[in-house]
Structure 1
Protein backbone atom coordinates (compact mmCIF):
# COMPACT_ATOMS: atom_id res chain seq x y z
CA UNK A 1 0.00 0.00 0.00
CA UNK A 2 2.82 2.34 0.92
CA UNK A 3 4.54 1.59 -2.38
CA UNK A 4 1.34 2.39 -4.30
CA UNK A 5 0.94 5.72 -2.49
CA UNK A 6 4.58 6.51 -3.08
CA UNK A 7 4.19 5.71 -6.78
CA UNK A 8 1.04 7.84 -7.04
CA UNK A 9 2.79 10.75 -5.34
CA UNK A 10 5.69 10.41 -7.74
CA UNK A 11 3.35 10.48 -10.74
CA UNK A 12 1.56 13.57 -9.37
CA UNK A 13 4.88 15.33 -8.82
CA UNK A 14 5.98 14.49 -12.34
CA UNK A 15 2.73 15.84 -13.80
CA UNK A 16 3.11 19.03 -11.77
CA UNK A 17 6.69 19.46 -12.87
CA UNK A 18 5.75 18.87 -16.50
CA UNK A 19 2.88 21.37 -16.28
CA UNK A 20 5.18 23.94 -14.71
CA UNK A 21 7.79 23.37 -17.41
CA UNK A 22 5.15 23.78 -20.15
CA UNK A 23 3.81 26.95 -18.55
CA UNK A 24 7.32 28.35 -18.19
CA UNK A 25 8.15 27.41 -21.76
CA UNK A 26 4.99 29.13 -23.00
CA UNK A 27 5.82 32.25 -21.02
CA UNK A 28 9.38 32.22 -22.36
CA UNK A 29 8.13 31.65 -25.91
CA UNK A 30 5.72 34.62 -25.98
CA UNK A 31 5.68 36.43 -28.28
CA UNK A 32 6.18 33.93 -31.08
CA UNK A 33 4.92 36.31 -33.80
CA UNK A 34 4.23 39.98 -34.40
CA UNK A 35 2.11 41.82 -31.84
CA UNK A 36 -0.54 44.21 -33.18
CA UNK A 37 -0.82 47.46 -31.26
CA UNK A 38 -4.04 49.28 -32.11
CA UNK A 39 -4.01 53.08 -32.05
CA UNK A 40 -7.70 54.10 -31.90
CA UNK A 41 -7.26 57.60 -33.34
CA UNK A 42 -5.85 59.12 -36.52
CA UNK A 43 -2.29 59.22 -37.78
CA UNK A 44 -0.17 62.04 -36.41
CA UNK A 45 -2.21 62.48 -33.24
CA UNK A 46 -1.17 61.81 -29.66
CA UNK A 47 -2.44 58.22 -29.72
CA UNK A 48 -0.57 57.42 -32.91
CA UNK A 49 2.67 59.05 -31.75
CA UNK A 50 2.58 57.26 -28.39
CA UNK A 51 1.79 53.93 -30.03
CA UNK A 52 4.71 54.22 -32.43
CA UNK A 53 7.07 55.25 -29.64
CA UNK A 54 6.03 52.24 -27.56
CA UNK A 55 6.24 49.88 -30.53
CA UNK A 56 9.68 51.13 -31.47
CA UNK A 57 11.00 50.74 -27.93
CA UNK A 58 9.20 47.57 -26.84
CA UNK A 59 10.46 45.69 -29.90
CA UNK A 60 13.88 45.74 -28.22
CA UNK A 61 12.47 43.43 -25.53
CA UNK A 62 10.18 41.07 -27.46
CA UNK A 63 12.82 38.63 -28.60
CA UNK A 64 12.99 40.10 -32.06
CA UNK A 65 9.25 39.96 -32.73
CA UNK A 66 7.90 43.25 -34.10
CA UNK A 67 5.19 45.35 -32.50
CA UNK A 68 3.12 46.66 -35.41
CA UNK A 69 0.95 49.77 -35.04
CA UNK A 70 -2.44 49.70 -36.76
CA UNK A 71 -4.77 52.73 -36.73
CA UNK A 72 -8.42 51.77 -36.26
CA UNK A 73 -10.29 55.04 -35.98
CA UNK A 74 -13.86 56.25 -35.58
CA UNK A 75 -16.61 56.66 -33.02
CA UNK A 76 -14.47 58.59 -30.54
CA UNK A 77 -11.83 55.87 -30.44
CA UNK A 78 -14.39 53.17 -29.67
CA UNK A 79 -13.96 51.34 -32.97
CA UNK A 80 -10.38 50.51 -32.09
CA UNK A 81 -11.23 49.86 -28.46
CA UNK A 82 -14.02 47.46 -29.38
CA UNK A 83 -11.80 45.66 -31.87
CA UNK A 84 -9.28 44.93 -29.13
CA UNK A 85 -11.85 44.10 -26.45
CA UNK A 86 -13.37 41.48 -28.77
CA UNK A 87 -10.03 40.00 -29.92
CA UNK A 88 -8.66 36.69 -28.70
CA UNK A 89 -6.96 37.17 -25.32
CA UNK A 90 -3.68 35.72 -26.52
CA UNK A 91 -1.45 38.77 -26.21
CA UNK A 92 -1.19 39.44 -29.93
CA UNK A 93 -3.74 42.26 -30.10
CA UNK A 94 -3.23 45.17 -27.70
CA UNK A 95 -4.64 48.67 -27.37
CA UNK A 96 -2.77 51.93 -26.97
CA UNK A 97 -5.45 53.40 -24.78
CA UNK A 98 -6.12 57.08 -24.29
CA UNK A 99 -8.31 59.04 -21.91
CA UNK A 100 -11.16 58.52 -24.38
CA UNK A 101 -11.42 54.88 -23.33
CA UNK A 102 -12.58 56.14 -19.92
CA UNK A 103 -14.29 59.30 -21.15
CA UNK A 104 -16.57 57.82 -23.83
CA UNK A 105 -18.26 55.30 -21.50
CA UNK A 106 -18.54 58.09 -18.92
CA UNK A 107 -20.57 60.19 -21.35
CA UNK A 108 -22.50 57.63 -23.37
CA UNK A 109 -24.58 55.11 -21.45
CA UNK A 110 -24.82 53.01 -24.62
CA UNK A 111 -21.04 52.90 -25.14
CA UNK A 112 -20.06 49.79 -27.13
CA UNK A 113 -17.24 49.15 -24.67
CA UNK A 114 -17.18 49.73 -20.91
CA UNK A 115 -14.27 51.46 -19.22
CA UNK A 116 -13.38 48.19 -17.49
CA UNK A 117 -13.76 45.81 -20.46
CA UNK A 118 -10.03 45.07 -20.61
CA UNK A 119 -7.00 43.58 -18.96
CA UNK A 120 -5.06 46.63 -17.78
CA UNK A 121 -1.36 46.09 -18.47
CA UNK A 122 -0.10 49.47 -17.31
CA UNK A 123 -0.15 53.24 -17.61
CA UNK A 124 2.42 54.62 -20.01
CA UNK A 125 2.57 58.41 -20.01
CA UNK A 126 0.90 61.59 -18.89
CA UNK A 127 0.22 63.85 -21.85
CA UNK A 128 -0.32 67.54 -21.16
CA UNK A 129 -2.89 69.37 -23.22
CA UNK A 130 -2.07 72.87 -24.46
CA UNK A 131 -4.50 75.73 -25.03
CA UNK A 132 -3.11 77.64 -27.99
CA UNK A 133 -3.87 80.27 -30.61
CA UNK A 134 -2.30 81.07 -33.95
CA UNK A 135 0.88 83.13 -33.55
CA UNK A 136 -0.74 85.85 -35.67
CA UNK A 137 -3.70 86.15 -33.30
CA UNK A 138 -4.19 89.31 -31.26
CA UNK A 139 -4.90 87.08 -28.26
CA UNK A 140 -1.84 87.18 -26.01
CA UNK A 141 -3.05 85.63 -22.74
CA UNK A 142 -5.72 83.36 -21.34
CA UNK A 143 -7.51 86.44 -19.99
CA UNK A 144 -7.57 87.93 -23.50
CA UNK A 145 -9.13 84.73 -24.82
CA UNK A 146 -11.82 84.58 -22.14
CA UNK A 147 -12.65 88.26 -22.71
CA UNK A 148 -12.98 87.67 -26.44
CA UNK A 149 -15.23 84.65 -25.89
CA UNK A 150 -17.45 86.62 -23.54
CA UNK A 151 -17.80 89.45 -26.07
CA UNK A 152 -18.39 87.18 -29.06
CA UNK A 153 -21.83 85.82 -28.16
CA UNK A 154 -20.79 82.36 -29.32
CA UNK A 155 -18.99 83.52 -32.46
CA UNK A 156 -15.50 82.43 -31.43
CA UNK A 157 -14.53 79.00 -32.72
CA UNK A 158 -12.36 76.18 -31.49
CA UNK A 159 -11.24 72.94 -33.10
CA UNK A 160 -11.91 69.62 -31.37
CA UNK A 161 -12.53 66.00 -32.25
CA UNK A 162 -16.05 66.33 -30.88
CA UNK A 163 -17.99 67.87 -27.99
CA UNK A 164 -17.48 64.86 -25.75
CA UNK A 165 -13.91 64.08 -26.78
CA UNK A 166 -11.09 65.01 -24.42
CA UNK A 167 -10.20 68.04 -26.56
CA UNK A 168 -13.83 69.13 -26.32
CA UNK A 169 -13.87 68.79 -22.54
CA UNK A 170 -10.64 70.80 -22.21
CA UNK A 171 -12.46 73.85 -23.56
CA UNK A 172 -15.87 73.16 -22.03
CA UNK A 173 -14.38 72.67 -18.56
CA UNK A 174 -12.66 76.05 -18.88
CA UNK A 175 -15.84 77.77 -20.10
CA UNK A 176 -17.78 76.31 -17.19
CA UNK A 177 -15.07 77.40 -14.75
CA UNK A 178 -15.45 81.05 -15.83
CA UNK A 179 -19.23 80.95 -15.58
CA UNK A 180 -20.04 80.53 -19.26
CA UNK A 181 -22.30 77.95 -20.89
CA UNK A 182 -19.87 75.18 -21.89
CA UNK A 183 -21.95 74.21 -24.91
CA UNK A 184 -22.86 77.59 -26.44
CA UNK A 185 -20.31 80.21 -25.33
CA UNK A 186 -17.95 79.23 -28.16
CA UNK A 187 -18.56 77.23 -31.34
CA UNK A 188 -16.89 73.86 -31.79
CA UNK A 189 -15.64 73.00 -35.28
CA UNK A 190 -14.93 69.25 -35.57
CA UNK A 191 -11.83 67.74 -37.15
CA UNK A 192 -10.43 64.21 -37.07
CA UNK A 193 -6.98 63.60 -35.65
CA UNK A 194 -4.29 65.75 -34.12
CA UNK A 195 -2.75 66.73 -37.45
CA UNK A 196 -6.06 68.00 -38.83
CA UNK A 197 -6.81 69.88 -35.62
CA UNK A 198 -3.43 71.59 -35.68
CA UNK A 199 -3.81 72.40 -39.38
CA UNK A 200 -7.15 74.09 -38.68
CA UNK A 201 -5.49 76.49 -36.25
CA UNK A 202 -2.48 77.06 -38.48
CA UNK A 203 -4.77 77.83 -41.40
CA UNK A 204 -6.79 80.36 -39.45
CA UNK A 205 -9.97 78.30 -39.67
CA UNK A 206 -10.58 78.47 -35.89
CA UNK A 207 -9.66 80.90 -33.13
CA UNK A 208 -8.16 78.46 -30.65
CA UNK A 209 -7.93 74.86 -29.49
CA UNK A 210 -6.79 72.81 -26.51
CA UNK A 211 -5.35 69.47 -27.58
CA UNK A 212 -2.48 67.11 -26.79
CA UNK A 213 0.94 68.70 -26.49
CA UNK A 214 2.46 66.21 -28.93
CA UNK A 215 0.37 67.57 -31.77
CA UNK A 216 1.23 71.21 -31.02
CA UNK A 217 4.81 71.38 -29.74
CA UNK A 218 6.48 71.30 -33.20
CA UNK A 219 4.35 74.28 -34.27
CA UNK A 220 4.94 76.12 -30.99
CA UNK A 221 8.68 75.58 -31.29
CA UNK A 222 8.52 76.82 -34.89
CA UNK A 223 6.86 80.03 -33.70
CA UNK A 224 3.61 79.33 -35.53
CA UNK A 225 1.41 78.93 -32.44
CA UNK A 226 1.18 80.76 -29.12
CA UNK A 227 0.54 78.63 -25.99
CA UNK A 228 -1.71 80.26 -23.40
CA UNK A 229 -2.23 77.55 -20.79
CA UNK A 230 -1.28 73.97 -20.04
CA UNK A 231 -3.58 71.22 -18.74
CA UNK A 232 -1.08 69.40 -16.56
CA UNK A 233 -0.34 68.89 -12.84
CA UNK A 234 2.74 71.10 -13.24
CA UNK A 235 4.29 73.34 -15.87
CA UNK A 236 5.92 71.70 -18.85
CA UNK A 237 9.71 71.81 -18.89
CA UNK A 238 9.57 72.85 -22.54
CA UNK A 239 7.17 75.73 -21.72
CA UNK A 240 8.29 76.99 -18.31
CA UNK A 241 6.58 80.37 -18.70
CA UNK A 242 3.16 78.97 -19.59
CA UNK A 243 0.86 78.57 -16.54
CA UNK A 244 -1.22 75.50 -15.79
CA UNK A 245 -4.99 75.49 -15.48
CA UNK A 246 -4.58 74.24 -11.93
CA UNK A 247 -2.35 77.11 -10.80
CA UNK A 248 -4.72 79.62 -12.42
CA UNK A 249 -7.48 78.27 -10.22
CA UNK A 250 -9.69 76.59 -12.81
CA UNK A 251 -11.25 73.81 -10.74
CA UNK A 252 -12.52 71.53 -13.52
CA UNK A 253 -9.99 72.36 -16.22
CA UNK A 254 -7.27 71.76 -13.65
CA UNK A 255 -8.26 68.09 -13.46
CA UNK A 256 -8.32 67.47 -17.20
CA UNK A 257 -5.33 65.93 -18.92
CA UNK A 258 -4.28 63.35 -21.45
CA UNK A 259 -2.67 59.99 -20.85
CA UNK A 260 -1.77 56.74 -22.53
CA UNK A 261 -2.07 53.19 -21.26
CA UNK A 262 -1.63 49.67 -22.54
CA UNK A 263 -4.70 47.42 -22.54
CA UNK A 264 -5.44 43.89 -23.69
CA UNK A 265 -8.67 41.87 -23.98
CA UNK A 266 -10.13 40.53 -20.75
CA UNK A 267 -8.94 37.07 -19.81
CA UNK A 268 -5.32 37.54 -20.84
CA UNK A 269 -3.24 34.63 -19.48
CA UNK A 270 -1.21 35.48 -16.39
CA UNK A 271 2.06 34.54 -18.07
CA UNK A 272 1.41 37.06 -20.87
CA UNK A 273 0.49 39.72 -18.32
CA UNK A 274 3.75 38.96 -16.53
CA UNK A 275 5.68 39.21 -19.77
CA UNK A 276 4.28 42.65 -20.51
CA UNK A 277 4.97 43.75 -16.94
CA UNK A 278 8.56 42.74 -17.58
CA UNK A 279 8.67 44.47 -20.98
CA UNK A 280 7.17 47.70 -19.64
CA UNK A 281 9.63 47.66 -16.76
CA UNK A 282 12.44 47.64 -19.31
CA UNK A 283 10.78 50.28 -21.48
CA UNK A 284 10.40 52.56 -18.44
CA UNK A 285 14.16 53.08 -18.18
CA UNK A 286 14.95 52.96 -21.89
CA UNK A 287 16.44 56.27 -23.05
CA UNK A 288 14.75 55.89 -26.41
CA UNK A 289 11.30 55.80 -24.79
CA UNK A 290 12.12 58.65 -22.42
CA UNK A 291 13.52 60.82 -25.22
CA UNK A 292 10.52 60.20 -27.48
CA UNK A 293 8.15 61.02 -24.62
CA UNK A 294 10.00 64.26 -23.91
CA UNK A 295 9.83 65.25 -27.57
CA UNK A 296 6.04 64.84 -27.43
CA UNK A 297 5.89 66.91 -24.26
CA UNK A 298 4.86 63.83 -22.28
CA UNK A 299 6.13 62.31 -19.04
CA UNK A 300 6.59 58.57 -18.62
CA UNK A 301 4.49 57.18 -15.75
CA UNK A 302 5.15 53.48 -16.26
CA UNK A 303 4.88 51.82 -12.86
CA UNK A 304 3.63 54.98 -11.12
CA UNK A 305 -0.09 54.22 -11.10
CA UNK A 306 -2.30 51.22 -10.49
CA UNK A 307 -3.95 51.17 -13.91
CA UNK A 308 -7.38 49.86 -12.86
CA UNK A 309 -7.72 52.37 -10.02
CA UNK A 310 -6.46 55.26 -12.13
CA UNK A 311 -8.79 54.55 -15.05
CA UNK A 312 -11.76 54.20 -12.68
CA UNK A 313 -11.02 57.64 -11.21
CA UNK A 314 -10.90 59.13 -14.70
CA UNK A 315 -14.22 57.54 -15.60
CA UNK A 316 -15.78 59.08 -12.49
CA UNK A 317 -14.35 62.55 -13.27
CA UNK A 318 -15.79 62.71 -16.78
CA UNK A 319 -19.04 61.06 -15.80
CA UNK A 320 -19.54 63.86 -13.27
CA UNK A 321 -18.86 66.58 -15.85
CA UNK A 322 -21.10 64.87 -18.42
CA UNK A 323 -23.98 65.03 -15.97
CA UNK A 324 -23.25 68.65 -15.07
CA UNK A 325 -22.99 69.77 -18.71
CA UNK A 326 -26.20 67.98 -19.66
CA UNK A 327 -24.83 65.15 -21.79
CA UNK A 328 -26.42 62.66 -19.42
CA UNK A 329 -29.93 63.49 -18.23
Structure 2
Protein backbone atom coordinates (compact mmCIF):
# COMPACT_ATOMS: atom_id res chain seq x y z
CA UNK A 1 0.00 0.00 0.00
CA UNK A 2 1.52 3.33 -1.09
CA UNK A 3 1.22 5.82 1.74
CA UNK A 4 2.72 9.11 2.77
CA UNK A 5 2.62 11.05 6.04
CA UNK A 6 1.38 14.44 7.12
CA UNK A 7 4.90 15.83 7.08
CA UNK A 8 4.36 16.28 3.33
CA UNK A 9 1.92 19.09 4.13
CA UNK A 10 4.55 21.27 5.80
CA UNK A 11 6.77 23.94 4.23
CA UNK A 12 4.32 24.65 1.41
CA UNK A 13 1.94 27.57 0.90
CA UNK A 14 -1.53 26.18 0.24
CA UNK A 15 -4.73 27.65 -1.15
CA UNK A 16 -7.65 26.18 0.78
CA UNK A 17 -11.16 25.13 -0.28
CA UNK A 18 -14.10 23.35 1.32
CA UNK A 19 -15.40 20.09 -0.16
CA UNK A 20 -18.75 18.42 0.23
CA UNK A 21 -18.64 14.57 0.44
CA UNK A 22 -17.04 12.76 -2.48
CA UNK A 23 -19.37 10.21 -4.11
CA UNK A 24 -17.63 7.29 -5.81
CA UNK A 25 -20.08 4.39 -5.69
CA UNK A 26 -20.11 4.08 -9.48
CA UNK A 27 -16.36 3.30 -9.41
CA UNK A 28 -15.63 1.83 -5.97
CA UNK A 29 -17.15 1.28 -2.54
CA UNK A 30 -14.26 2.82 -0.56
CA UNK A 31 -11.57 5.37 -1.37
CA UNK A 32 -9.11 5.78 1.50
CA UNK A 33 -6.58 2.94 1.69
CA UNK A 34 -8.00 1.55 -1.55
CA UNK A 35 -4.97 1.29 -3.81
CA UNK A 36 -6.96 0.17 -6.84
CA UNK A 37 -9.34 3.13 -6.57
CA UNK A 38 -6.52 5.65 -6.05
CA UNK A 39 -4.65 4.33 -9.09
CA UNK A 40 -7.85 4.51 -11.13
CA UNK A 41 -8.40 8.19 -10.31
CA UNK A 42 -4.70 8.99 -10.72
CA UNK A 43 -4.76 7.52 -14.23
CA UNK A 44 -7.98 9.32 -15.02
CA UNK A 45 -6.56 12.66 -13.85
CA UNK A 46 -3.35 12.11 -15.81
CA UNK A 47 -5.30 11.39 -18.98
CA UNK A 48 -7.40 14.47 -18.30
CA UNK A 49 -4.35 16.72 -17.91
CA UNK A 50 -2.41 15.33 -20.87
CA UNK A 51 -5.35 15.80 -23.22
CA UNK A 52 -6.61 19.08 -24.64
CA UNK A 53 -8.49 20.21 -21.54
CA UNK A 54 -6.13 23.14 -20.89
CA UNK A 55 -5.70 24.34 -24.45
CA UNK A 56 -8.84 26.46 -24.46
CA UNK A 57 -8.04 28.06 -21.13
CA UNK A 58 -4.39 29.01 -21.41
CA UNK A 59 -4.92 31.67 -24.03
CA UNK A 60 -6.63 33.92 -21.50
CA UNK A 61 -4.51 33.31 -18.42
CA UNK A 62 -1.42 35.43 -19.07
CA UNK A 63 1.07 34.72 -16.29
CA UNK A 64 -0.41 31.29 -15.64
CA UNK A 65 0.08 30.32 -19.28
CA UNK A 66 3.70 31.35 -19.02
CA UNK A 67 4.12 29.38 -15.76
CA UNK A 68 2.58 26.24 -17.22
CA UNK A 69 4.72 26.50 -20.36
CA UNK A 70 7.82 26.14 -18.17
CA UNK A 71 6.69 23.06 -16.29
CA UNK A 72 7.53 20.64 -19.05
CA UNK A 73 5.61 17.45 -19.75
CA UNK A 74 3.63 15.65 -17.07
CA UNK A 75 5.74 12.67 -16.00
CA UNK A 76 3.63 11.14 -13.25
CA UNK A 77 0.35 11.53 -11.37
CA UNK A 78 0.21 9.84 -7.99
CA UNK A 79 -2.62 9.53 -5.45
CA UNK A 80 -1.54 8.31 -2.00
CA UNK A 81 -3.30 7.74 1.29
CA UNK A 82 -1.99 10.12 3.94
CA UNK A 83 -1.22 8.11 7.05
CA UNK A 84 -1.49 9.81 10.47
CA UNK A 85 0.80 7.24 12.12
CA UNK A 86 3.93 9.35 12.52
CA UNK A 87 2.16 12.44 13.80
CA UNK A 88 -0.34 10.45 15.87
CA UNK A 89 2.54 9.19 18.00
CA UNK A 90 3.35 12.80 18.79
CA UNK A 91 0.06 14.65 18.95
CA UNK A 92 -2.59 11.91 18.82
CA UNK A 93 -3.97 13.80 15.84
CA UNK A 94 -6.28 11.77 13.61
CA UNK A 95 -5.80 13.81 10.43
CA UNK A 96 -5.71 11.66 7.32
CA UNK A 97 -6.67 11.84 3.68
CA UNK A 98 -5.24 11.76 0.16
CA UNK A 99 -2.15 13.42 -1.28
CA UNK A 100 -2.22 14.11 -5.02
CA UNK A 101 1.20 14.68 -6.61
CA UNK A 102 1.66 15.95 -10.16
CA UNK A 103 5.27 15.52 -11.22
CA UNK A 104 6.22 17.59 -14.26
CA UNK A 105 9.66 17.70 -15.85
CA UNK A 106 10.63 20.92 -14.10
CA UNK A 107 8.33 21.21 -11.07
CA UNK A 108 6.14 19.22 -8.72
CA UNK A 109 2.61 20.37 -7.81
CA UNK A 110 0.60 18.96 -4.92
CA UNK A 111 -2.91 18.84 -3.53
CA UNK A 112 -4.27 17.25 -0.36
CA UNK A 113 -7.79 16.25 0.69
CA UNK A 114 -8.05 15.99 4.47
CA UNK A 115 -10.35 14.85 7.24
CA UNK A 116 -10.01 14.76 11.03
CA UNK A 117 -12.02 11.58 11.51
CA UNK A 118 -12.85 8.29 9.82
CA UNK A 119 -15.38 9.23 7.16
CA UNK A 120 -14.78 6.64 4.45
CA UNK A 121 -18.22 5.11 4.07
CA UNK A 122 -19.53 2.74 1.46
CA UNK A 123 -19.95 4.78 -1.69
CA UNK A 124 -18.83 8.16 -0.33
CA UNK A 125 -15.95 9.75 1.55
CA UNK A 126 -15.94 12.98 3.53
CA UNK A 127 -12.72 14.96 3.07
CA UNK A 128 -13.84 18.49 3.91
CA UNK A 129 -10.55 20.38 3.48
CA UNK A 130 -8.79 20.71 0.14
CA UNK A 131 -5.26 22.13 -0.03
CA UNK A 132 -3.77 22.97 -3.43
CA UNK A 133 -0.44 24.26 -4.63
CA UNK A 134 -1.24 24.86 -8.29
CA UNK A 135 -1.19 27.80 -10.71
CA UNK A 136 -4.71 29.14 -11.19
CA UNK A 137 -5.54 27.44 -14.47
CA UNK A 138 -4.35 24.05 -13.20
CA UNK A 139 -6.28 24.52 -9.96
CA UNK A 140 -9.47 25.29 -11.87
CA UNK A 141 -8.98 22.19 -14.00
CA UNK A 142 -8.38 20.03 -10.93
CA UNK A 143 -11.46 21.39 -9.17
CA UNK A 144 -13.53 20.68 -12.26
CA UNK A 145 -12.12 17.13 -12.31
CA UNK A 146 -13.15 16.56 -8.69
CA UNK A 147 -16.64 17.92 -9.34
CA UNK A 148 -17.15 15.79 -12.43
CA UNK A 149 -15.80 12.55 -10.95
CA UNK A 150 -17.12 12.78 -7.38
CA UNK A 151 -20.19 15.00 -7.69
CA UNK A 152 -18.71 17.22 -4.96
CA UNK A 153 -19.40 20.90 -4.38
CA UNK A 154 -16.29 23.04 -3.91
CA UNK A 155 -16.12 26.53 -2.41
CA UNK A 156 -13.36 28.87 -1.30
CA UNK A 157 -12.61 28.71 2.41
CA UNK A 158 -12.11 32.10 4.05
CA UNK A 159 -10.65 32.46 7.53
CA UNK A 160 -12.33 35.24 9.56
CA UNK A 161 -10.66 37.36 12.20
CA UNK A 162 -11.85 35.28 15.13
CA UNK A 163 -10.46 32.11 13.54
CA UNK A 164 -7.04 33.70 12.94
CA UNK A 165 -6.99 34.78 16.56
CA UNK A 166 -8.03 31.32 17.76
CA UNK A 167 -5.38 29.72 15.54
CA UNK A 168 -2.65 31.91 17.01
CA UNK A 169 -3.85 31.16 20.53
CA UNK A 170 -4.00 27.42 19.81
CA UNK A 171 -0.47 27.35 18.42
CA UNK A 172 0.93 29.25 21.39
CA UNK A 173 -1.03 27.02 23.77
CA UNK A 174 0.60 23.94 22.23
CA UNK A 175 4.11 25.12 23.11
CA UNK A 176 5.96 25.16 26.41
CA UNK A 177 5.98 28.68 27.86
CA UNK A 178 9.78 28.92 27.75
CA UNK A 179 9.82 27.99 24.05
CA UNK A 180 7.11 30.31 22.70
CA UNK A 181 9.29 33.30 21.81
CA UNK A 182 11.99 31.08 20.29
CA UNK A 183 9.39 29.33 18.14
CA UNK A 184 7.37 32.38 17.04
CA UNK A 185 10.41 34.74 16.81
CA UNK A 186 8.64 37.75 15.32
CA UNK A 187 4.92 38.22 14.78
CA UNK A 188 3.48 40.10 11.80
CA UNK A 189 -0.21 40.96 11.78
CA UNK A 190 -2.18 42.52 8.93
CA UNK A 191 -5.19 44.61 9.90
CA UNK A 192 -7.86 45.35 7.28
CA UNK A 193 -10.35 48.21 7.32
CA UNK A 194 -13.86 48.59 6.01
CA UNK A 195 -14.19 51.13 3.21
CA UNK A 196 -16.80 53.07 5.17
CA UNK A 197 -14.24 54.31 7.69
CA UNK A 198 -10.98 54.18 5.71
CA UNK A 199 -11.65 54.39 1.95
CA UNK A 200 -7.97 55.09 1.20
CA UNK A 201 -6.45 52.65 3.70
CA UNK A 202 -7.02 49.01 2.87
CA UNK A 203 -4.62 47.44 5.36
CA UNK A 204 -2.01 48.13 8.03
CA UNK A 205 0.89 45.85 8.95
CA UNK A 206 1.80 45.56 12.63
CA UNK A 207 5.24 44.04 13.23
CA UNK A 208 5.99 42.74 16.71
CA UNK A 209 9.65 42.08 17.48
CA UNK A 210 10.92 39.14 19.51
CA UNK A 211 11.50 41.41 22.52
CA UNK A 212 8.05 42.99 22.28
CA UNK A 213 6.46 39.57 21.84
CA UNK A 214 8.08 38.39 25.05
CA UNK A 215 6.80 41.46 26.89
CA UNK A 216 3.25 40.94 25.60
CA UNK A 217 3.32 37.30 26.67
CA UNK A 218 4.66 38.04 30.15
CA UNK A 219 2.48 41.03 30.96
CA UNK A 220 -0.56 40.20 33.05
CA UNK A 221 -3.79 40.95 31.21
CA UNK A 222 -6.85 42.38 32.88
CA UNK A 223 -9.43 39.69 33.66
CA UNK A 224 -12.33 42.06 34.11
CA UNK A 225 -15.45 40.97 32.27
CA UNK A 226 -13.78 37.89 30.83
CA UNK A 227 -15.15 34.39 30.58
CA UNK A 228 -13.31 31.48 32.19
CA UNK A 229 -12.02 30.42 28.77
CA UNK A 230 -10.59 33.89 28.16
CA UNK A 231 -8.94 33.97 31.57
CA UNK A 232 -7.18 30.66 30.96
CA UNK A 233 -5.77 31.52 27.55
CA UNK A 234 -2.50 33.31 26.71
CA UNK A 235 -2.52 37.04 27.56
CA UNK A 236 -1.04 37.92 24.15
CA UNK A 237 -4.27 38.88 22.37
CA UNK A 238 -5.64 40.91 25.27
CA UNK A 239 -2.35 42.74 25.78
CA UNK A 240 -1.95 43.40 22.07
CA UNK A 241 -5.50 44.76 21.87
CA UNK A 242 -4.80 47.07 24.80
CA UNK A 243 -1.50 48.20 23.26
CA UNK A 244 -3.08 49.11 19.91
CA UNK A 245 -5.87 51.01 21.61
CA UNK A 246 -3.43 52.97 23.78
CA UNK A 247 -0.78 53.78 21.17
CA UNK A 248 -2.78 53.89 17.93
CA UNK A 249 -6.17 54.95 19.35
CA UNK A 250 -7.56 51.95 17.49
CA UNK A 251 -10.42 50.03 19.05
CA UNK A 252 -9.77 46.56 17.74
CA UNK A 253 -11.71 43.41 18.46
CA UNK A 254 -8.94 40.96 17.54
CA UNK A 255 -10.79 37.81 18.50
CA UNK A 256 -13.84 38.81 16.49
CA UNK A 257 -16.30 38.42 19.34
CA UNK A 258 -18.45 41.22 17.94
CA UNK A 259 -17.55 41.79 14.29
CA UNK A 260 -20.79 43.64 13.60
CA UNK A 261 -19.71 46.64 15.69
CA UNK A 262 -16.12 46.92 14.48
CA UNK A 263 -14.63 48.02 11.18
CA UNK A 264 -11.08 46.81 11.79
CA UNK A 265 -10.31 43.13 11.53
CA UNK A 266 -7.35 40.80 11.65
CA UNK A 267 -6.79 39.47 8.12
CA UNK A 268 -3.37 37.77 8.26
CA UNK A 269 -0.99 36.25 10.80
CA UNK A 270 2.63 35.58 9.83
CA UNK A 271 5.36 34.15 12.05
CA UNK A 272 8.25 31.73 11.69
CA UNK A 273 6.25 28.49 12.15
CA UNK A 274 3.08 29.35 10.21
CA UNK A 275 1.09 31.71 8.01
CA UNK A 276 -2.70 32.09 8.13
CA UNK A 277 -4.34 34.35 5.55
CA UNK A 278 -7.95 35.38 5.75
CA UNK A 279 -8.25 35.15 1.97
CA UNK A 280 -7.69 31.39 2.21
CA UNK A 281 -3.96 30.69 2.44
CA UNK A 282 -2.15 28.43 4.91
CA UNK A 283 1.49 27.52 5.43
CA UNK A 284 2.99 25.38 8.20
CA UNK A 285 6.74 25.26 8.69
CA UNK A 286 8.82 22.60 10.42
CA UNK A 287 12.50 21.70 10.17
CA UNK A 288 13.45 18.32 8.72
CA UNK A 289 15.08 17.17 11.94
CA UNK A 290 14.35 14.47 14.47
CA UNK A 291 14.64 16.42 17.73
CA UNK A 292 12.39 17.70 20.52
CA UNK A 293 12.00 21.16 18.97
CA UNK A 294 10.86 19.71 15.66
CA UNK A 295 8.45 17.34 17.38
CA UNK A 296 6.97 20.24 19.34
CA UNK A 297 6.53 22.29 16.16
CA UNK A 298 5.00 19.27 14.43
CA UNK A 299 2.48 18.78 17.23
CA UNK A 300 1.53 22.47 17.27
CA UNK A 301 1.24 22.52 13.48
CA UNK A 302 -1.03 19.48 13.47
CA UNK A 303 -3.28 21.12 16.04
CA UNK A 304 -3.50 24.25 13.92
CA UNK A 305 -4.21 22.25 10.76
CA UNK A 306 -6.90 20.35 12.65
CA UNK A 307 -8.60 23.67 13.38
CA UNK A 308 -8.58 24.50 9.66
CA UNK A 309 -10.14 21.12 8.87
CA UNK A 310 -12.83 21.77 11.48
CA UNK A 311 -13.40 25.22 9.99
CA UNK A 312 -14.05 23.56 6.64
CA UNK A 313 -16.68 21.37 8.30
CA UNK A 314 -18.54 24.07 10.22
CA UNK A 315 -17.74 27.05 8.00
CA UNK A 316 -21.17 27.13 6.37
CA UNK A 317 -22.71 27.71 9.78
CA UNK A 318 -20.19 30.36 10.89
CA UNK A 319 -19.87 34.03 10.19
CA UNK A 320 -17.29 34.62 7.48
Q: Which has the higher strand share?
A: 2
User: Which structure has the greater CA radius of gyration?
Assistant: 1
- The bucket for the TM-score relative to the shorter chain is under 0.3
Q: Which has the higher helix share?
A: 1
TM-score (norm 1): 0.26
